[in-house]
Structure 1
Amino acid sequence: MTVTTESPPAARRAPGTDTADATPHPATVAVRSVVTPLRVGITTLWLSVIVLLPLAAIAWQSGTKGWQGFWLAVTSHAALESFRVTLTISVLVTVLDVVFGLATAWVLVRDDFVGKGAIDALIDLPFALPTIVTSLVMLALYGSASPIGIHLQHTPPGVAMALAFVTLPLVVRAVQPVLMEIDRDVEEAAAALGATRLTTFTTVVLPSLQPAILTGAGLAFSRCVAEFGSVVTIGGAVPGKTEVSSQWIRALVENDDHTSAAAISMVLLAISLAVLVVLRTVGGRAAKREEQDE
């Protein structure tokens, strides 16, 4: 007797064993081919309206008096003094943000204590407050009637305190999620081999955090360069002392010199963009080195 065996019908095959199951339906492919360009087009249109067109308008207005008018606007004594004050305070505040932002993120991720959730929520408070409210809070705390006896009104430290208040969360939120993802087994292995906590931090943890730290630092610096509302009352716009470039731009607008104001704005935009590109490039290279080492 000859016994013949038949393969099970296609309908009885287990899901996943039939190659047809893995093939997308033609209708699905067609929908995807239509939806993807549509989403890209909507995103591009939105960014053009919100970002590109305003920047193009500022660039056009800054050049209405020609190159000579642009150069005179950005090299005037008042403009150069505002650039000096802005960049000096911004660099100082960014360094402080990196140090204290990293420390704050470390405490929130690695330590457990009463009120941790409340402190974590308070980190985002500067994002919710209008910047002018921040300036009024700083004025009430560090002004001439300071309840704690610290008078920083119309001083560079007062401007720095206001800028640090609004920029510190940028570093914390950039570092915190990366710190949460770091494998602690490597740190424990380093400690088992006799490495100190400082050595473990500088050789194991810090290289992994470098891209996030640079990103947070770039965002903090750019925010410092462009900030206006948080320093408007505590700073007082004292020329050569506390008058940052954003306040000088306001003075130009109030004097109906919109072309010079646009020129100063373009310089600030170029500075912020250059810093972001450099830090992103360095951070990207550091991330690639980390992946290659792994």
Structure 2
Amino acid sequence: MTATAVGRSGRIRREKSVLPGFGITLGITIAWLTLIILIPLAGLFLKTATLSFDHFLTIITSTRVLNALKISFGIAFLAALTNIVLGSVVVWALTRYEFPGRRVFDAIVDIPFALPTAVAGIALTALYAENGWLGGLLAQLGIKVAYTPLGIYVALVFIGLPFVVRTVQPVLQDLDGELEEAASSLGASRFQVILRVVVPTLLPALLTGFALAFARAVGEYGSVIFIAGNLPNVSEVAPLLIVIRLEEFRYADATAIAVIMLVASFVLLLIINRLQAWSEAHRRP
């Protein structure tokens, strides 16, 4: 990285960075991102471009596609919101309190990271099926989880929780406890301390965790197909519909659905990033 400085003549001159290698590392970064991300995405758009505009609209506005997109994005959004709340509670307990087994619980949070998605889907299905441990109890209350959209929600909450916890945890650990004590000494209630001191500090991290959990949930496939039931227009997610179209050799249809998911995800993530930047700007003194 280079620094800039203004000389006596008024011209801007560049000073060499203490650490060399900026050009090499930038070149490797651009080349790697191009190979791994940009070229595959370009191929996706090029394949979709083979469709006429009318055919493209017919594909993405069909009832089955619209319902699949609605289920994927809607339930992913609800699951990410849930993880914001539950993840914050988990982080607070792991960070602010000492209790037996805290390190064990802290390690358990990372299990969805390491667990294969198919294994997670099978485990959740066995647990929440009507003859499962939790599913049997819920069935007595008239609540069916497995093979319903509620099962998709449970799976997405499961795989998204670590993203929120691991994003918020270091920020809460670095939060100076003296700020909370100062607010309390000035007469603020515990609720006011959390609302006006803790939450504004954690808000950028919470938005980042929400974005990561949402992005992972939208594209989740392995853990969902086992517990969803995969009924068209009822519990079929968009990634599964893409796989079905590929198995039917309808490649253009599959890429059209993928492009819509990509664009929608990009727009939502862009909005979240702007909110994060706005929050950080207003948090600075």
For residues 2-41 of structure 1, what are the structure 2 equivalents within 5 Å? 35-41=21-27
Q: CA deviation at 1:87?
A: 2.1
Query: Which range moves more in the overlay, 62-71 or 178-187?
Result: 62-71
Structure 2: distance between partners of 1:273 and 1:182: 31
For residues 246-261 of structure 1, what are the structure 2 equivalents within 5 Å? 246-261=239-254
The reply on whether 1:123 has 2:116 as its aligned counterpart is: no
Q: CA deviation at 1:88?
A: 2.0
Structure 2: distance between partners of 1:30 and 1:197: 47
CA RMSD of aligned residues (A): 1.5
Q: CA deviation at 1:91?
A: 1.8
Q: State the SS of the aligned residue for 2:228.
A: coil
Structure 1: distance between partners of 2:133 and 2:216: 29
**Following TM superposition, where does structure 1 have runs of at least 4 consecutive aligned residues deviating by more than 3 angstroms?**
29-33
Q: State the SS of the aligned residue for 2:132.
A: coil
Task: Return the TM-score normalized by structure 1.
Answer: 0.86
Q: State the SS of the aligned residue for 1:232.
A: helix
Q: CA deviation at 1:247?
A: 1.1
Q: Tell me the amino acid that sits aligned with residue 249 of structure 1.
A: I
Which of 236, 243, 263 is the matching residue for 1:243?
A: 236
The reply on whether 1:52 has 2:32 as its aligned counterpart is: no
In the other structure, the counterpart of 1:83 is 69
CA gap 1:57/1:113 in 2 versus in 1, 3 angstroms: same
CA gap 1:30/1:198 in 2 versus in 1, 3 angstroms: closer
The reply on whether 1:141 has 2:143 as its aligned counterpart is: no
The reply on whether 1:70 has 2:56 as its aligned counterpart is: yes
The C-alpha deviation readout for 1:245-269, integer Å capped at 9, x for no partner, is 1111111111111111111111111
In the other structure, the counterpart of 1:186 is 179
Which of 129, 154, 166 is the matching residue for 1:161?
A: 154
In the other structure, the counterpart of 1:269 is 262
Equivalent residue pairs, number: 263
In the other structure, the counterpart of 2:9 is none
Q: State the SS of the aligned residue for 1:89.
A: helix
In the other structure, the counterpart of 1:99 is 85
* Aligned 8 A contact 1:63 1:69 in 2: no
The reply on whether 1:109 has 2:95 as its aligned counterpart is: yes
Which of 281, 284, 291 is the matching residue for 2:277?
A: 284
Q: Tell me the amino acid that sits aligned with residue 69 of structure 1.
A: H
Q: Tell me the amino acid that sits aligned with residue 121 of structure 1.
A: A
* Aligned 8 A contact 1:174 1:215 in 2: yes
Structure 2: distance between partners of 1:187 and 1:32: 39
The C-alpha deviation readout for 1:222-258, integer Å capped at 9, x for no partner, is 1111111110110021112211111111111111111
Structure 1 unaligned blocks of 5 or more: 1-28
Structure 1: distance between partners of 2:47 and 2:129: 38
Structure 2 unaligned blocks of 5 or more: 1-15, 139-143
Structure 2: distance between partners of 1:30 and 1:262: 44
Which of 14, 28, 36 is the matching residue for 1:42?
A: 28
* Aligned 8 A contact 2:63 2:233 in 1: no
Structure 2: distance between partners of 1:142 and 1:230: 13
Task: Return the TM-score normalized by structure 2.
Answer: 0.89
Structure 1: distance between partners of 2:221 and 2:197: 39
Q: Percent identity?
A: 36
The C-alpha deviation readout for 1:158-208, integer Å capped at 9, x for no partner, is 111111000011111111111111111111011112211111000111011
**Greater gyration radius:** 1
Q: State the SS of the aligned residue for 2:133.
A: coil
Structure 1: distance between partners of 2:264 and 2:165: 23
Q: CA deviation at 1:76?
A: 0.9
Q: CA deviation at 1:51?
A: 0.7
